[in-house]
Amino acid sequence: MKNNFKDPEHFHSPWTFSKIVIFFFLLISLSYLLYSLRFVSHSFTDCDQNPLSSITHLSETRSFPSDEESPKPIEETNLSHIVFGIGASSKLWKQRKEYIKLWWRPSEMRGIVWLDQKVETEPGDEKLLPQLKISGDTSNFKYKNPKGHRSAIRISRIVSETLKLGMEGVRWFVMGDDDTVFIAENLVKVLQKYDHNQFYYIGSSSESHLQNMYFSYNMAYGGGGFAISYPLAVALEKIQDRCIQRYPGLYGSDDRIQACMAELGVPLTKERGFHQFDVYGNLFGLLAAHPVTPLVSLHHLDVVEPIFPNVTRVQALRRLMVAKKLDPAGLIQQSICYDKARKWTVSVSWGYAVQIFRGIFSAREMEMPARTFLNWYRRADYTAYAFNTRPVSRNVCQKPFVYYLTNAIHNKHTNETSSEYVRVEPNPKCRWKMEDPTQIERVEVHKKPDPNLWDKSPRRNCCRVLPTKKKGSLVIDVGPCGEDEIVEL
């Protein structure tokens, strides 16, 4: 049997086909006619209308107020919007005030050092330090932690006590200890990311996994410093004294803050540039492989060794501040590259140190901090940390050649910083038959300051080993990576 539907000849008889063609022709002509008429009528009405009257008409039909159309430019957060609240003890004031002098800028910053009792002031100190105040009496509060000290209550209340001073134009309260060193430019950069009109509690955890378990991974460690937005400080102040009474068993001031934050339902916003440094020994591994985020604070500087060898703690930090002044955004930012001809791996921590390794290490190894430090219980335990670390190599040939910052300057002609790093510790003898970095005594690093580094998505800078005729020197350029530039040999 023939299937009609499959046979085109039967389906479209010649008579029906011509009908369809005529129908389509008519349809198209009609649409064209209608379209043209519409166009003509429109242009007539447009000509009739006064352009001004059409604008009035537009704004009349809008329901929202006119300033919505051009919102007021929001002023970026700067140092003047921050008030520091520093928790200090009269007993340690004499040494600790030296740490504050390293970062405090009296004419530009606002803040209070809150003490337990009056301290002797040395002449000249007034001009170099924040205003000193004595904290309110807390003897009526319960404190029942067997290991801690009841000064925790006093220090916890610094947020409320600072708020009650009623300073104007405050967006953020930033808390810290008397042994916290802030990199103010980077603190401002970090806070600029957040809306100060909302509730924010910003800081970082401890390096110690056990400490974080014991206290909380949701707690901002007080020594590393933390920031509380103005409206959150207002909300906290209203409840803080009642809240503190609910937690007499807690240990410190920062866990008391966190307990109140939990009651307010405000989580910790983590920023990895705040450093509690709950470690012992040598910070080198941590400072040589900083995460790709601005350095905001350093803490426990009395606990760890001086960050540069053979100088006092304060002298060492003062040296770091020389580099900080030239390019705060780039401070201790890591870049990794290879000396291709000599098969060396080079890791720069700008403004702090340069390392040269024999052989090729991958970027993923180099960006892991080497365990040059001990954990908070003074043990070398690789399971102790809340982040990845790598062991210090036992092989004498793989021990890095370390060059520490000696000086940094800004060159007006090239608009570049030039920082110098020198080796102070000898390396052990190695029998590998490859080029030996022992001949390199100093490293020179050139870098353009980049104040906008953190306005872009986070990315490590690239470094390049430059050809040089200077004997005993390695010259390196650090800057944004070029197109297709990655860390490879």
Ligand X SMILES: *[C@@H]1O[C@H](CO)[C@@H](O)[C@H](O)[C@H]1NC(C)=O
Q: Which of 43, 310, 362, 395 binds ligand X (CB under 6 A)?
A: 310
Q: How far is CA 132 from the centre of its chain?
A: 29
Nearest residue (CB) to ligand X, 197 versus 310: 310
The residues near 274 (Cβ < 8 Å, ≥ 6 apart) are: 202, 203, 204, 220, 221, 224, 225, 226, 296, 297
Instruction: Build a one-symbol-per-residue string for 198-237: x at contacts with ligand X by CB under 6 A, - elsewhere.
Output: ----------------------------------------
Q: Which of 9, 60, 69, 75 binds ligand X (CB under 6 A)?
A: 75
Q: Which stretch binds ligand X (CB under 6 A): 135-143, 228-236, 259-267, 445-453?
A: 445-453
Q: What's the closest the beta carbon of residue 262 comes to ligand X, in angstroms?
A: 32
Q: Determine, following the binding rule CB under 6 A, whether residue 133 of this chain makes contact with ligand X.
A: no
Count of positions on this chain that bind ligand X (CB under 6 A): 9
Q: What's the closest the beta carbon of residue 80 comes to ligand X, in angstroms?
A: 5
* Contact assessment for residue 234 and residue 151, using Cβ atoms and an 8 Å cutoff: no
Q: Which of 31, 80, 198, 388 binds ligand X (CB under 6 A)?
A: 80
* Contact assessment for residue 205 and residue 258, using Cβ atoms and an 8 Å cutoff: no
Q: What's the closest the beta carbon of residue 310 comes to ligand X, in angstroms?
A: 4
Q: Which stretch binds ligand X (CB under 6 A): 73-81, 82-90, 158-166, 236-244?
A: 73-81
Q: What is the DSSP string of 248-259?
A: TT--SHHHHHHH
Instruction: Build a one-symbol-per-residue string for 261-300: x at contacts with ligand X by CB under 6 A, - elsewhere.
Output: ----------------------------------------
Q: What's the closest the beta carbon of residue 427 comes to ligand X, in angstroms?
A: 13
Distance of alpha carbon 86 from alpha carbon 177, whole angstroms:
5
**174-193: contacts with ligand X (CB under 6 A):** none
Half-sphere exposure for 28 (CA within 13 Å, toward CB):
6
Q: What's the closest the beta carbon of residue 191 comes to ligand X, in angstroms?
A: 12
Q: Which of 365, 448, 473, 479 binds ligand X (CB under 6 A)?
A: 448
Nearest residue (CB) to ligand X, 13 versus 407: 407
Q: Which of 78, 131, 198, 439 binds ligand X (CB under 6 A)?
A: 78
Which long-range contacts (C-beta less than 8 Å, at least 24 apart) are formed by 22-27? none
Beta strands in 328-454 (DSSP E): 334-339, 344-349, 353-358, 373-374, 401-411, 416-423, 442-447
80, 190, 279, 374, 476 from 206: Cα distances, Å:
29, 19, 9, 14, 34
Which one, of 481, 456, 457, 478, lies nearest residue 466 by Cα? 478
The residues near 385 (Cβ < 8 Å, ≥ 6 apart) are: 207, 208, 209, 375
What six digits make up the tokens of 428? 């052990």
Nearest residue (CB) to ligand X, 342 versus 448: 448
Instruction: Build a one-symbol-per-residue string for 396-435: x at contacts with ligand X by CB under 6 A, - elsewhere.
Output: -------------------x--------x-----------
Q: Which of 281, 291, 449, 479 binds ligand X (CB under 6 A)?
A: 449
Distance of alpha carbon 133 from alpha carbon 304, whole angstroms:
29
Q: What's the closest the beta carbon of residue 456 comes to ligand X, in angstroms?
A: 13
Distance of alpha carbon 466 from alpha carbon 160, whole angstroms:
54
* Contact assessment for residue 284 and residue 353, using Cβ atoms and an 8 Å cutoff: yes
Distance of alpha carbon 87 from alpha carbon 177, whole angstroms:
5
Q: What's the closest the beta carbon of residue 59 comes to ligand X, in angstroms?
A: 31
Q: Which residues bind ligand X (CB under 6 A)?
A: 75, 78, 80, 310, 415, 424, 448-449, 451
